[in-house]
Amino acid sequence: MALSIVGEMQITHEPVMLKEVLEFLNLRPGMRVLDGTVGAGGHAKEILRRIGPEGVYVGIDQDPNILEIARENLGEASGLYLVHENFLRADRALQRIGMDTLDACLLDLGVSSHQLETAERGFSFQKEGLLDMRMDPTAAVSAFDLVNHLSEWEIVSILQRLGQERYARRIAHLLVQTRQKEPVRTTRQLAGIVERAIPHHGWNRIHPATRTFQAFRMAVNRELESLEEALPGIVRFLKPGGRICVISFHSLEDRVVKLFFRRLAAEGQLKLTIKKPLAPSPAEVHGNPRARSAKLRVAEKC
Ligand SMILES: C[S@@+](CC[C@H](N)C(=O)[O-])C[C@H]1O[C@@H](n2cnc3c(N)ncnc32)[C@H](O)[C@@H]1O
């Protein structure tokens, strides 16, 4: 399975596959839309424009800091609700607002560029910060906990599964040796361990720590589990004819979406709007390299 990794140098604030998302969501004035990953509000802004003042937009994010940025970017609008929640509990957020059906839903998965760029959040191996990586700062487990308390074998398993890191054993071994002396506290310390554990190839396209950081981030935030658990609940809210768009950046995420859509299509609950996932155009990737590994899947409620 090819792993899709986004290099950290390639950060922009452009909403990924915006044109395609807007088109597939079939947005019209008055619609009720759930955006499970509002981020800085890039997609949100255009969604709001299309659904107009009589529409309802519910934007969820598990990161309260980024919700503040979304609030600033989106301003005041009637029918705009921004909620600090995991999309896993979208039903709770929707019920609080008194919404029981949706016309459209978007999930634009993964980490936002703002999170990567903020050193103290600990997401970036290029910026010194404490090992945190929690998208939701109120969550119990941080990267520090995983890095310092999991067994060597558990670390190997995370790096292999979520990072598809071929040097997982070497990295985990050196990590465990290092933390026996003192805990590994910072992003640069962890990156240094990876750099020492991995044979250096001058031709490497991505930094050697990219896969390790991605793997720990996905484990800290339980990204695959949340997606898997969230999809059935969200789709239940969709009206017949309502569409769901999911943009993923990791092959395992895309697989979760693919299998879920296929299962519901076989049960007659969903119709696949596009059979194969859509990739961004070469022009978009050129202008926004973060989009490079994006895959968009779209389905419609029957
Ligand atoms: C790629 S960014 C979204 C960017 C946004 N579409 C835009 O155009 O600005 C992903 C966002 O989803 C949030 N997120 C990731 N997993 C989440 C989850 N399980 N529940 C709620 N928010 C989540 C992250 O905190 C991040 O802000």
Q: Tens digits of per-residue pLDDT, 249-271?
A: 999 999 999 999 999 999 999 99
Atom of ligand 1 nearest to the CA of 66: 27
Residue located via tokens 């906990």: 145
pLDDT in tens, 80-113: 999 999 999 999 999 999 999 999 999 999 999 8
pLDDT for 259: 98
Q: Please choose from 18, 135, 221 the residue to mutate so as to test ligand 1's pocket, defined by most ligand atoms within 8 A of CB.
A: 135
Distance from the CA of 19 to the center of ligand 1, in angstroms?
A: 18
Are both 95 and 172 inside the same structural domain? no
Residue at a domain's end among 192, 220, 248: 220
Query: Do the beta carbons of residue 138 and residue 174 sit within 8 Å?
Result: no
* CA nearest ligand 1 atom 14, residue: 37
Tell me how far apart the alpha carbons of residues 128 and 122 are, in angstroms, rounded to a whole number. Answer: 7
Per-residue pLDDT of 222-246, as tens digits, reads 999 999 999 999 999 999 999 999 9
pLDDT tens digits, one per residue of 110-166:
999 899 999 999 999 999 999 999 999 999 999 999 999 999 999 999 999 999 999
**Nearest-atom index, ligand 1, CA of 35:** 6
Examine the pLDDT at 10 and tell me if it is beyond 60.
no
Domain encompassing residue 144? 140-220
Please name the residue whose Cα sits nearest to atom 12 of ligand 1. 37
Question: Using CA positions, which residue lies closest to atom 27 of ligand 1?
Answer: 39
Banded pLDDT at 202 (limits 50, 70, 90) = low
109 and 252 in a single domain? The answer is yes
Residue 101 included in any domain: yes
Whether residue 158 lies inside any domain: the answer is yes
Asked if 116 contacts 124 with a C-beta cutoff of 8 angstroms, the reply is yes
CB 79 within 8 A of CB 57: yes
DSSP string, 256-301: HHHHHHHHHHHTTSEEESSSSPBPPPHHHHHH-GGGGG-EEEEEEE
Q: How far is the CA of 158 from the centre of ligand 1 (A)?
A: 22
Assess whether the C-beta atom of 165 lies below 6 angstroms from ligand 1: no
34 CB less than 6 Å from ligand 1?
no
Residue 12 has pLDDT above 90, yes or no: no
CA of 91 to the centre of ligand 1 (A): 17
How wide is the angle at C-alpha 152 spanned by C-alphas 148 and 156, nearest 5°?
110
Distance between CA atoms of residues 118 and 124, nearest Å: 8
> Given a cut of 60, is residue 2 above it in pLDDT?
no
Residue 187 lies in a domain: yes
Model pLDDT, residue 14: 85
Q: What pLDDT, on a 0 to 100 scale, did the predictor assign at position 250? A: 95
Whether residue 95 sits in one domain with residue 24:
yes
The predicted pLDDT at position 6 comes to 41
Percent of the chain residues past pLDDT 70, beyond the cut: 94
Together in a domain, 228 and 214: no
Poorest-confidence range of 6-10, 137-141, 190-194? 6-10
For residue 61, the CA-to-ligand 1 centroid distance in Å is 6
**Residue 227 belongs to some domain of the structure:** yes
Q: Residue 67's CB: how many other CB atoms inside 10 A?
A: 21
**Is 154 in the same domain as 105?**
no
Is a pLDDT exceeding 50 seen at residue 70? yes
Q: How far is the CA of 198 from the centre of ligand 1 (A)?
A: 31
70 and 93 in contact (C-beta within 8 Å)? no
Ligand 1: which of 37, 86, 220 to mutate, most ligand atoms within 8 Å of CB?
Answer: 37
- The mean pLDDT of the chain is 93
DSSP per-residue codes, 35-92: ES--TTSHHHHHHHHHH-TTSEEEEEES-HHHHHHHHHHH---TTEEEEES-GGGHHH
Q: Ligand 1 centroid vs 110 CA: distance in angstroms? A: 6
State whether 210 and 234 are in the same domain. no
CA distances, 74 to each of 50, 51, 57, 59, 78 (Å): 14, 14, 11, 11, 11
Residues 160 and 245 in one domain: no
Four-CA torsion 212, 216, 222, 223, nearest 10 degrees = -40
Residues 6+ apart with CB under 8 A from 17: 247, 278, 280, 284, 291, 294, 296
User: How many angstroms separate the alpha carbon of residue 266 from the centre of ligand 1?
Assistant: 29
For the chain, the distance separating the N- and C-terminal CA atoms, rounded to the nearest angstrom, is: 31
**Domain membership flag for residue 211:** yes
Domain count of the fold of the chain: 2
Shared-domain flag, residues 229 and 187:
no
